[in-house]
Chain A
Amino acid sequence: MKQPKAHLLQSIAVAVILIAVWEGACRVFDISPIVLPTPSSVLVRLYALFTTGMIWPHLWATLIEVLSGFVLGCVAGLVFGAMISLIPVFERLVYPYLVALQTLPKVAIAPLFIIWFGYGLTSKIVITALVCFFPVLVSVIAGFHSTDKDQLDMMKAFGATKWQTLTRLRIPSALVLIFAGLEIAAVLAVIGAIVGEFVGAQVGLGYLVVTLNFGMDVPGVFAVLIVLSAIGLAMHGLMRYAARRYIFWIRRSEAPVMT
């Protein structure tokens, strides 16, 4: 148990040193706060954003977009992934179009969604869902393909029906890769919501970044970025926790590493 503790201390030490160098460099070279604000000024701004209550409506809006988009995208990814994996006709008819859709850069079609779904939360939720959809879809398909051949033989030798093989072997086997996909989607969800807000919004952390940037409040922009990465880390952590709970048989060292 000593090893992880030592590693944690080292990581913290690196962070402290980096922030100290950043702070020192800004002061020694007298860098303009518009170019690079000092960490201390960012922290002060971050504190102010919360105490003045300015950030709350934006934070809520973004959280709603991220969470609903994530859930919608993941559910759609799971459903389509399962259908493509289990129904051959579906794979032939639908999968090529889904792949074609995936090749479209989401940022480029975001303005269309604003036109179709308006400036409100709906357009951002749709964009987020679309961004989350593909990693989940691909991981579900890969997951169903990853069933161990020997275990399939084993089920067959013991006289399992197709349905029993599906529920007792193929779905649990697929979970390992599905959770890897969910982890990626969790992080992408934040990006999706912010992209949507950049293109057109009246509220949200992405909208706040654009506004603060416009007002040359660079420490404010940094402060919002910290909040955004905190949301991303929390989403990722949540999925890691769920993965460890539901696919407990994969030891940590073997768990898919996703960033």
Chain B
Amino acid sequence: MMASLKVKREDSAHLAPVSGADIAKPAMIRIAGLEKRFKTRSGETVNALTSVDLDIRENEFISVVGPSGCGKTTLLRILAGLENASSGIVQCDGAQISGPRPDVGMVFQQATLLPWNTVLTNVLLPAHLKNDKSGLTVKRAEGLLAFMGLKDFAQKYPFELSGGMQQRVSICRALMREPRILLMDEPFGALDAMTRESMNMELMRVWSEERKTVIFITHSIPEAVLLGDRVVVMSPRPGRISEVIDVDVGRPRTLQTMATPRFGEICDHIRTIFGAQSLTATAL
């Protein structure tokens, strides 16, 4: 079973064809030799990320999966420009990422909506921060809300919405300024299993309508496989990439896709990687 998997370490620019991405173009995001070290309060240096190499093509959907402490959130924060790399290359379109970029939208684990603003004002926040208050912008925000099935909630406040709806609003907000890159940090981690599945489908729908480069962090293996063109498997202490797996399952994918043998094989393979990791950890 293992042999049939097209699994390989990401170490070159030659990549197996995958669905969403445009392989003719060079990598949109280029990460090479990325290191991130933190100083703890006691003065020790902790390697959060070590020798991370990854090329991401335009419009590719990348899932990042790994146990807590593997540095996946740190990786995303560096891509978002919220933190700086200690060393290594983190480029977007050939320019080092050194701060928040206007063409990046971000969705956090918590919806992080501003509770004193209405749903519509929350979605408009990225535009308001750029002093863009045109009617066209409001139209776009309303369109996004309608697209997410939140048309009737535009004038409601976040506390009047369920967790799933709040997260949908936060996705609308991230899409507001038509970003080319969407960074998602365990966006559905706080939701119950049922809501989570419908949110996965929702996200697939968004991605098929508004093609973007998505980097999606999760600790759910099925979620990672269901959504991603490729799954980046990370391991902790120090945080690094163990494997990059092509998900050669056709699109459109539905919840039924999860019942197919190929889907199960890939999930099993990722579990094996984690299993091997924990075995090594015990052996050490």
B98 to chain A, nearest CB (A): 13
A157 to B99, CA, bound (A): 8
A165 to B277, CA, bound (A): 42
CB-CB < 8 A to B94: which residues of A?
Answer: none
Q: Is the CB of A158 within 8 A of B110?
A: no
Q: Is the CB of A159 within 8 A of B110?
A: no
Q: Is the CB of A249 within 8 A of B82?
A: no
Q: Is the CB of B82 within 8 A of A159?
A: no
Q: Tell me if B157 is interfacial: C-beta within 8 Å of chain A.
A: yes
CB-CB < 8 A to B102: which residues of A?
Answer: 159
Q: Is the CB of A156 within 8 A of B129?
A: no
Report B98-122 CB contacts with A as 1/0, cut-off 8 Å.
Answer: 0010101010111010111000000
Q: Tell me if B139 is interfacial: C-beta within 8 Å of chain A.
A: no
CB-CB < 8 A to A248: which residues of B?
Answer: 116, 157
* Contacts A158-B126, A251-B159; A153 near B108 (Cβ below 8 A): yes
Q: Is the CB of A157 within 8 A of B125?
A: no
A161 to B114, CA, bound (A): 16
Q: Tell me if B80 is interfacial: C-beta within 8 Å of chain A.
A: yes
Q: Tell me if B130 is interfacial: C-beta within 8 Å of chain A.
A: yes
A15 to chain B, nearest CB (A): 34
Q: Is the CB of B100 within 8 A of A156?
A: yes
Q: Tell me if A102 is interfacial: C-beta within 8 Å of chain B.
A: no
Q: Is the CB of B82 within 8 A of A153?
A: yes
Q: Is the CB of A150 within 8 A of B82?
A: no
Chain A, residue nearest B109 (CB): A150
CB-CB < 8 A to B81: which residues of A?
Answer: 157
CB-CB < 8 A to B158: which residues of A?
Answer: 249
A156 to B84, CA, bound (A): 14
Q: Is the CB of B129 within 8 A of A160?
A: yes
A169 to chain B, nearest CB (A): 7
Beyond the given A150-B112, A157-B81, please list 5 additional residue pairs across the A-B interface where CB-CB is below 8 A: A164-B129, A168-B114, A172-B116, A249-B116, A249-B159
